[in-house]
Every structure is written in structure tokens, then in C-alpha cells.
Structure 1
Amino acid sequence: MQIVQWIVNLGASVFLPILLFIFGMVLGIKPGKAFKAGLTVGIGFIGLNLVINILTTNLGPATKLMIKNYGLHLQTIDVGWPAASAIAYGTALGAMAIPVGVIVNVILLIFGLTKTLDVDIWNYWHVAFAGSILYMLTHNMWLGIFAMVVVTMFTYFFADLSAPTVEKYYGLEGISFPHGLSAPGYVFALPFNWLFDRIPGLNKIHVNAETVQKKLGIFGDTTVLGAIIGLVIGILAKMTVAKILGLAVNMAAVMMLMPRMVSLLMEGLTPISEAANIMVKKHFPGKKLYIGMDSALAIGQESVLSASLILIPITLFLAVILPGNRVLPFGDLATLPYFFALFAAVFKGDILRTVLAGIVDICISLYVATWAAPVITELAKAASFNMSGNSSISALSDGGLWTNYIYLMIGEKFEWIGMIVLFLIAFGLLVWLNKLRKTDEA
């Protein structure tokens, strides 16, 4: 467990290149090429984190000023996914999520119940988060571990189900997203797409990044749109002119730099993905596997970024007006592209549809995060997390995730019976999808 924790503490930008280098060697890639591929992915993650840091450090002061200016009194602070992941891996069960996730993945692959070979090991923190909370709610360690198994199975189902759409829309051949936050968004967006197709007027409107740029000219450019949104947020925060302009430029920088960092990730992943496909075709003719990766590969897409930036001020507005909400969005405002990475794929890049469905998703997330706040606060204390003077914390990301609410409510109320029922549902869905794909391939 100490070894596993040490690996986790390295961070995705360090241990993922090591993992991909080893994986590349196993796939038969020359050592130099495998090393360069893994290193490029690590550099891409560092670049991505730098861009997200630009977003966070600039949005933070603006958010605090809006809170002060408009007298907002929301008792629970959204600490964001970096803190949530540290809390998840810092609990008694946290580091168990990695061996549990890997073992479940291997078993499902052996029995042909998933097509996702997950190399995104660091993001098992999503699994650790759910299992740790259930352990905190029930004080049953084995139930918490079993919950990790169930959550992992659902995650692979979502990843396999969405993979063809991910391939088609993002052009990511052989890639799936077993990402605990993004993957459920695919299922969430599907009924909204069906509904929007049947609403007169709305079904004729298609607002994607290309359409906006064509209609609005330079004002429709995603970089310029980022600057405009920065100006609006700065004005709402009643910042000085200099700071408003600085915020505008930084938001524009995020819109321009994010896709370029993602392209670095793709550059490093391409030889790994190609080698994996060659190996599968050689040893498993007729069978297709997906390489499971972080949905960071999708968040630089123009429609995802545009919709997410539009939803930032909307999220703050919703937090204020929703009755019963106690969570002040803060840390996860920069994480919104992860929320909606697969929304955009379902809606084929339609920004309007992504924003409309995103508003519903944010409302649900705020209420779930409010419900989860007491147990997340206790979990943070158990993990010796620095509360920084906050008496109540939550996280819009996994703390507000609708699937986690289902898992945890059923697990807390029905314990073993509830989790076994969820296990059987996940197993049945994986079997159904596997048979469906075989029929389609035939």
C-alpha cells in the first residue's frame, strides 16, 4: 500500500509517462520512441495543468469579489477536484482503489465484458472517492471496497458505450474515457438530445463554434469569446479596469492554449494507440480494444470550452438563486470543461444545447454537493486534509455527481443488498453492450 501511495503521490504528469513507456515496450515499440511518447504525454499534462492554473488563479479573485459585492452567504465552499482527489487518496481505503480498479479491468477484459484497457490509473481517485464516502456513511470497510468494484464496472460501461461517439466526434481513434466525472455525462446528455430534437424551433437551431464564428466574425472566434466572457466576469466582480483587462486576456489565453496542450497529449498517445491496435489485430483478429484515457483529451475542443466558459457565471448565479443550495462554486469552476466534455459529443458541438443541458446538470450538482457536504467534510478531517479555516466543504465535481448520489444513497440505505443489486445491474449492462457490439460488428 505504501508503494501504491508513493506512485499516486507522483501525480499523473510523472507516473503516467512511466506507465505508458512500460506499456509501449510491452507493445513492441522501440525504447526511444516509447520514452518520447510517454514524455510527451507528461509534458502535455503539465501544460494542461498550467493552463487550468491560469484559469483558477484568475477566476478565484473575481469570484471572491462577486461574493463580497453581492453579499453572498453560502456556508459551504467548493474545494474543487484537486482537493477532492487528495482527500480520496488520503483515506484508509483510498489507495485500495488502484488495485481494485486494475483487477476489475483485467477480469472484465479476460471475459470480454469491456473493450477498454484503462491506462488512466491516476483517475481511479473517482472510485476511491465514492468508496471512501460509503465507508464513512456505513463504517463497513468491505462494503466500501465492494462499492469501488461496482463504481468501476459502471465507469467501464459508460466508457464503452460512449467510445464510438468519442471516436467520431473528437477523431480519437481507439480511445475511450473511463473518467469518473466525464463518462456519466454521456448518458445524462442522451435524453436531452432526444428532447431537443422534438422541440419546435429549437430543433432547427444549431449553434456550434464554426457557426458562431461565421455569423459573428471575429466576435465568434473562441479566443475573442474567452476575452469577452473575461470582461463580463470582471465587470460583475467590479474589478479595476486594469484587472478586468487582465482577466479578459487570461481567459482568451486559456481558450487558445488549452487545445494546443491537448494536441501534445494526442501526439504522445498516437504511437501507443497505433501499436495497441496492431497487437490486438495480430493476436485477437476481429476484436477491438479501446485505450482508456483522461477526458482531458476532449476539453480543449472549441465547443466544450465555449459552453463551459458561458456556464461559469451561470453557475454562480444558480448557486445564489436556488432554494436550499448551500454550496458556493469555486474550486471546480475551472473543471466545468470536464463536466461537459461528452455533452458536446452527444450534441455534435452544439453550444446552445450543451449550455441548456448543462444548466440542468449544474442544478443537480449543487443540490447533490449540498447533500454530500457533511460527509465530505468529515472525510477531509479523517484524511487530515487542511480545511484552511472552512467549517464545511464540498466539491461540485465528484461531490455533486448524480451517479455518486445514486450509488451512495442506495448503499447507505440498503447496504449489501443495495450494492449487490447495483453490481447485477452493472454486470447486465456490460453483457448487453458486449452482445450489442458483437451483433453490430457482425
Structure 2
Amino acid sequence: MLANFMNIFMSLGSSVFIPIIIIFLGLILRMKPGKAIISGLTIGIGFIGLSMVTGLMSDALGPAIELMVERYGLSLSIMDLGSGTAGPVAFSTAMGVIVIPIAFVLNILLIYLKVTKTFNVDVWNLWQPALIGIMVWGITQNFVTGVLSMIPAFLIELILADLAKPYMSDFYGFPGMTCTHIMANAGLIFAAPLNWVFDRIPGFNKIDVNPEKIQEKFGVIGDPTLIGFVIGLIIGGLAGYTVPQMLTLGVQMAAVLIIMPKMVSLFMEGLTPIADATKEFTRKYLGGQEVNIGMDAALVVGNSSVMSTSLLMIPITLLIGVLLPGNKVLPFGDLPTIVFALALMVAGFKGNVLRSVIGCSIYTVFMLYGATYLAPALTTAYQLAGYELGSGLISYVSAGLWPNVLMVLATNLLSVPGLLILTAIALMVLFFINRRQNVQAINNEKAFD
């Protein structure tokens, strides 16, 4: 019965079930019912608006990408189905149903024990720990081992969310919130040290290619409208489009760069009252303990640096995929939505588009190798979910995230003991991160006093 209820609930789509969760959360936080309902509905409207814009981007870029693949004779043996298929796959199995109560109970317990500051309300993106569970289930042929693997996977999600909090508040301007999207957060582990290296390269460390600064210096040249238009023309040219088709794609990409931030602003409008209510609730009932609301990367994809980087990375990712020795994944289905895999990396590079493109290109190499390695496990996962795939292997670029590779590799090498070791390490890392952040907060308060 629980499984049927959860399947019906998840089938509503993120634009319905996330607002329901937000409304209930608002009521738990003692918000007025009307205010809680408005917050939830506003977030739902944001999801619908964002879906319309990403749909426009996908519909416009899809044919161009397909023509690029055909035009340059690109052919690799593993088909890229795109990450958009992975969520429905994960939640079409019992594993996807089980992950929700496991994650909720574990999250509440860790907040109570002060091991994490993140409260995840982004139920939809629990498909990522669930997909890891299905892959492990396929590898071991043991359902219980698959369920067990979701625990360290969710702990990694919380670790990344706690680490992402400063970027969400300082760079993106979302105080009291963080991102619990593994796909978006995983790249931070690469971006932070790479940015440190870039800061120490003479000359290069003085270059700041930032849409806002470009617009400030050069006026209309740095306007997101023109940036989107030019990038659209470039992609259209690479696809062999006619001039009218190139112009149309240019206008469509300009529209994406302008409309996307307006849709994202609805999330901020809906979530700000929830964040304020959370602070008041924790002040009264948790001794002022800091709790950050964990949400989807949809909050940040509208940033002009993020969108510019992501659009530039489409042809670059295709080129890397073709030239990379040992890679067998042909980038295709994941390209229109690769923005979600790169969003927090751009914050790690402080919005510098040049650094972001270089850093994301390096990161893409690792993702493609990871996607190639995971293809057998991922193909098995899709088959367990009842998907007919034919005889070939499938994968997608952002399947090669290091958390996915780590979990499958640990299972292949050490089976259940490997998963238990990862769980223990993840708990220790969570404890260390939050202890360090608490010490820093106390020192900051003393310095302020």
C-alpha cells in the first residue's frame, strides 16, 4: 500500500509534489496556512516556468546536436540517453520508493545529532541515491545490498550540500538554503582546488571573463541577450544550419538566457518565507541550531555565467568525447541539460566563464571515463526497471559523477564491507565538516563582538 501511495505521489511530477512538501513543511514550521500555500504554489509555478524554458532549450538544441553528430561523422559504441531518463527509471522501481523514508529518517536523525545542517526537501533528486541502489542491486543480484548502498550515497549528498551552502548564499544569493542535487554539487570537489591553482598562475589570475563585468566595461557586448544570441549562432554554424536557422537558434538561446533568471526568481520568492520560518523555528525549538533548506539545482541554473558556460560546453563536450582515448560514450542526450552538472562548478570559479569552461572541460574528461566505466551497471539498472534497450550498452555523460563511480567501484572491489566502510567514512566527514563550520561561526561571532 505504501509503495502504491509513493508511486502515485511521485507520478504527480516535481511541479506538484515539491509544492505539497513545501506547504506541509511551512505548516510544521508554524507558518500561517495561507502563507504556506502561497509559498508552495509559487515554487510550483517556478518549476513549470523553468520546465518550459529548459524544454525550449532542449527542443532548440536537440536537432542542432544531432546534425553536429551526423555532420562530423561521430560514432561511439555507447549511447547517451541523457540524465532526464534516469529519474523516471529510479522511481519506477521499489528502490525508488524505499529511498524516500530512509533518507527522511536519516536526515532528521543527523540534524538532531548536529551532524548535518541540511534538511533535504528536494525529494525528486533522491533518484540519484536510488539509481546507485539499482546499479548495486544489478551488480550483486542482491536487493538488500542495493538498499544498503543508498545510505552512503545519501550521506555523500548531505556532505556536498553542506559544502555547497557558502556558494549558495555568497555567490547565488540564497541565504538559509543549499543544493541537494548530487549532479550539481559533485563538481565542487574539482572546482575549488582548480580555482586555487588558477589563482596562482601569473597573468591568467588577472583575467576575469564575467558577463556582468563584460557588460560594465563594454556595454551591449556583455549583455546576456547578445551573449546568448552569439552562442546560438556558433552552435547553429557548427550544425551546418542555414542563415535563417542560425538566426532563429540565436534568438532562442538569447530568450533562454533572459527568461531563465526570471523563472528562478520565483523559487527565491517562494522559498524566502520558508527559510525565515525555519530560522524562527530552530531558534525556538532547536536552540538556534542552523538548518539549511536543501533544494534542486534549478535555483541556480538561471545565472548568466552558468548558462554561458553550459552553452559553450555543448560543442566542447562533443569534441572531447570524440578525441578522448578510451572513451566509448557519444555525448548526445545529456548535452541540452548539462547545465545541471556544471552549475555549482561555476560558483566554485566565482562566475569567471573562462575558468569555468577550462575547469568544466577537465571535469568532462573524468565524467566521460566514469560514464564508460558505469555503462554495464547502468544498462543493468535500466533493464531491472523494465526498459527495453536492445543489445547495446547505454550511459550518459553526467552518469560519470565521482559519487556514482565510487559507490559502484567499492561494491565491485569489497561488496558489503566496502559499502560499510564508505558509510563510516561519510559520517566522519560530515561530523568534521560541521564541527569545523561551527568553530568558524563561533570565531566569527567573537570577532564581530
Q: TM-score range by the shorter chain?
A: over 0.9
**SS of alignment partner, residue 182 of structure 1:** helix
> Secondary structure at 1:325's aligned position in 2?
coil
List per-residue Cα deviations over 1:233-282 (Å, max 9, x = no partner).
11111122222221111111111111111001111111111111111112
Structure 1 counterpart of 2:254: 252
1:162 to 142, 161, 164: 164
Could you report, residue by residue, the CA deviation over 1:381-434 in whole angstroms, capped at 9, with x for unpaired residues?
2212254x783321222x211221112101121011211111111011111112
Please state whether the residue corresponding to 1:340 is helix, strand or coil.
Answer: helix
For the residue of structure 1 that corresponds to 2:183, the secondary structure is coil
Aligned partners of 1:58 and 1:250 also within 8 Å: yes
Asked if structure 1 preserves the Cα contact closer than 8 Å seen for 2:57 and 2:252, the reply is yes
Q: Report matched runs for 1:189-268 at 5 Å.
A: 189-268=191-270
State the distance in 2 between where 1:173 and 1:293 align. Answer: 12
| Residues 135 and 380, structure 2, Cα contact 8 Å, conserved in 1 | no
Q: Secondary structure at the match of 2:79?
A: strand
* Segment drifting more, 321-330 vs 172-181: 321-330
* Secondary structure, aligned partner of 1:324: coil
AA at the equivalent of 2:178: S
Shift of 1:92: 4.0
**Aligned counterpart for 1:11 among listed residues 10, 13, 19:** 13
Equivalent residue in structure 2 for 1:109, among 108, 111, 115: 111
Instruction: State the aligned residue count.
Output: 440
Post-superposition offset of 1:312: 1.1
Is the 2:410–2:419 Cα contact (8 Å) retained in structure 1?
Answer: yes
State the TM-score, normalized to the length of structure 2.
0.95
1:174 to 149, 172, 176: 176
Q: CA deviation at 1:374?
A: 2.3
Output the CA distance in 1 between the equivalents of 2:62 and 2:336: 10
Aligned with 1:52 (options 51, 54, 75)? 54
Deviations 1:134-177 (A, max 9, x none): 11111122221111000111111111122123211111010011
Tell me which residue corresponds to 2:285: 283
Q: Secondary structure of 1:263's match?
A: helix
Is 1:431 matched up with 2:423? no
1:213 CA displacement:
2.1
Q: Quick one: which of 360, 363, 366 aligns to 1:361?
A: 363
Compute the displacement of 1:20 (Å): 0.8
1: distance between equivalents of 2:359 and 2:420?
31
Once the two structures are superposed, what CA deviation does each residue of 1:21-47 show, in whole Å capped at 9, x if it has no partner? 111112122222211110110010011
What CA RMSD, in Å, does the superposition of the two structures yield over aligned residues?
1.5
- In terms of mean alpha carbon deviation, does 378-387 or 139-148 score higher? 378-387
Write the letter of the residue equivalent to 1:425: I
Report the CA distance between 1:350 and its aligned residue: 1.1
Is 1:441 aligned to 2:441, yes or no?
yes
Could you tell me how far 1:119 is from its partner in structure 2? 0.8
Please report how far the alpha carbon of residue 86 of structure 1 lies from its aligned counterpart in structure 2 after TM superposition: 1.3
Q: Deviations over 1:168-199 (max 9, x none)?
A: 11110100111111122222211101111111
Q: After the TM superposition, which of the residue ranges 329-338 and 346-355 deviates more from structure 2? A: 329-338
Offset, 1:225: 1.0
Shift of 1:112: 1.1
Corresponding position of 2:300: 298
In the alignment, the residues of structure 1 paired with residue 233 and residue 298 of structure 2 have an alpha-carbon distance, to the nearest angstrom, of 26
Query: For 1:147, which of 141, 146, 149 is the aligned residue?
Result: 149
Q: CA deviation at 1:354?
A: 0.9
Please point out which of 96, 99, 103 is paired with 1:97: 99
- In the alignment, the residues of structure 1 paired with residue 195 and residue 32 of structure 2 have an alpha-carbon distance, to the nearest angstrom, of 45
Tell whether 2:22 aligns with 1:20. yes
Q: CA deviation digits over 1:291-323, x for unaligned, max 9?
A: 111111111111111111111110111111112
1:314–1:329 CA distance, 2 compared to 1 (3 A): same
The whole-number CA distance in structure 1 between the counterparts of 2:90 and 2:412 is 18
Is contact 2:160–2:182 with CA below 8 Å preserved after alignment? no
Name the structure 1 match of 2:124.
122
Give TM-score, length-normalised by structure 1: 0.96
Unaligned runs of 5+ in 1: none
Q: 1:320 aligns with which of 312, 319, 322?
A: 322
Deviations 1:352-397 (A, max 9, x none): 111111001111111111122222222212212254x783321222
Find out whether 1:68 has 2:70 as its counterpart. yes
SS across alignment from 1:291: strand
Q: Which one of 138, 141, 144 corresponds to residue 136 of structure 1?
A: 138
* Correspondence for 1:31: 33
The structure-2 alpha-carbon separation of the partners of 1:26 and 1:92, relative to structure 1 and needing over 3 Å to count, comes to closer
Which range moves more in the overlay, 414-423 or 208-217? 208-217
Distance 1:433 1:134 in 2: 28
* Counterpart code for 1:421: I
Match for residue 44 of structure 2 among 42, 51, 57: 42
Q: For residue 274 of structure 1, what is the aligned residue in structure 2?
A: 276
Contact (CA 8 Å) 1:77, 1:390: kept in 2 or not?
Answer: no
Give the secondary-structure state (helix, strand or coil) at the position aligned to 1:73.
Answer: coil
Please identify runs of 4+ aligned residues in structure 1 that moved more than 6 A: none
Task: Give the corresponding residue for 1:408.
Answer: 408
In the aligned structure 2, how far is the partner of 1:390 from the partner of 1:51?
A: 35
In 2, the alpha carbon distance for the partners of 1:65 and 1:184 equals: 30
Q: How many Å apart are 1:215 and its aligned residue?
A: 4.0
Contact kept in structure 2, 1:119 and 1:292, CA below 8 Å: yes
Q: CA deviation at 1:212?
A: 2.3
Matching residue of 1:421: 421
